[in-house]
């Protein structure tokens, strides 16, 4: 039976996580969409198959070879190929630092995540470029439900905290987020107006989804952490994903477990019910 299309007045934007740097956008996006649609189907949301969902890709700047020049090869016709030009000291340092962190597999997972996010907070050019991809995806006539996973929750928050109340994002769903880790919370606060972590003015709803086994969500009590003139609070609920494994202690920090969960899907469906019941 063909799917009956609904005239939607809202859309879902997904801000992906840091590990997407090694993904291919064309093949990554369908997986993220499918996970969320499955979750929405599980909670009985009737527009799960046709609600617009997009995943703006912003992570190319974090690929380990991004700061190296394109190699030159001989085509075998006798053409002289110039050797690659050396990259600047700053770019070389950043590239080697990335590779070093990538190989430190025994480090604490949260510690690695926070170090990766240091680049986002400390490099204004990179931060503005990243925010721009997500911001552009949110613009338009439709009301937006913004879902941010892991680093995507930080990107989404920084964007929303610095936008006007008229910005079209009305609901924000965060998951796998380290945002209230003490170091992270300080960074977040420092980059918001008056250096105070606020409840973004465009929002009428913010839900945070966490998992007890996720090393990125060890701090999941968000009560009173984001100042609101109207007394609004972040709604916080637990999700259930895969258990930690000996070879993968961060197994629970899995976007597909979050996106296909009943907890996250219920939050997204609640947000969508206002304009697309």
Mean pLDDT of the chain: 86
Sheet with 10-15, strands from edge to edge, namely 53-54, 10-15, 143-149, 169-175, 205-210, 235-238
Averaged pLDDT for residues 13-24: 90
Domains of the chain, earliest start first: 10-61+125-272 (3.40.50)
Residue 102 has pLDDT above 60, yes or no: no
Q: Which of 56-60, 64-68, 119-123 has the lowest mean pLDDT?
A: 64-68
Dump pLDDT digits (tens) for 114-129: 666 778 888 898 899 8
Model confidence, pTM: 0.85
Dump pLDDT digits (tens) for 139-198: 999 999 999 999 999 999 999 999 999 999 999 999 999 999 988 899 999 999 899 999
Residue 209 has pLDDT above 90, yes or no: yes
Which residue has better confidence, 114 or 260? 260
Residue 100 has pLDDT above 60, yes or no: no
């Amino acid at each position: 039976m063909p799917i009956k299309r609904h005239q939607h007045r809202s859309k879902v934007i997904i801000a992906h996580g840091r590990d997407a740097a090694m993904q291919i956008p064309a093949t990554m996006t369908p997986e993220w969409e499918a996970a969320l649609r499955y979750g929405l189907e599980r909670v009985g949301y009737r527009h799960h198959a046709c609600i617009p969902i997009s995943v703006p890709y912003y992570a190319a700047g974090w690929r380990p070879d991004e700061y190296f020049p394109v190699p030159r090869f001989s085509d075998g016709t006798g053409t002289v190929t110039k050797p690659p030009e050396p990259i600047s000291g700053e770019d070389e340092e950043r590239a080697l630092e990335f590779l070093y962190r990538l190989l430190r597999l025994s480090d604490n997972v949260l510690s690695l995540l926070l170090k990766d996010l240091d680049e986002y907070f400390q490099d204004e050019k990179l931060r503005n470029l990243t925010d721009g991809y997500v911001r552009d995806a949110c613009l338009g006539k439709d009301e937006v439900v913004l879902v941010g996973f892991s680093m995507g929750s930080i990107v989404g928050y920084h964007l929303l905290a610095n936008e006007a109340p008229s910005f079209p994002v009305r609901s924000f769903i965060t998951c796998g987020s380290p945002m209230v880790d003490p170091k992270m919370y300080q960074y977040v606060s420092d980059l918001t107006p008056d250096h105070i972590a606020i409840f973004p003015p465009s929002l009428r709803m913010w839900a945070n989804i966490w998992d007890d086994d996720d090393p990125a969500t060890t701090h999941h009590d968000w009560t009173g952490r984001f100042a609101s003139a109207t007394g609004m609070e972040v709604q916080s609920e637990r999700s259930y994903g895969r258990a930690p494994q000996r070879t993968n202690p961060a197994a629970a920090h899995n976007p597909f477990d979050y996106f296909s969960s009943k907890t996250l899907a219920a939050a997204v469906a609640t947000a969508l019910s206002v304009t697309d019941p």
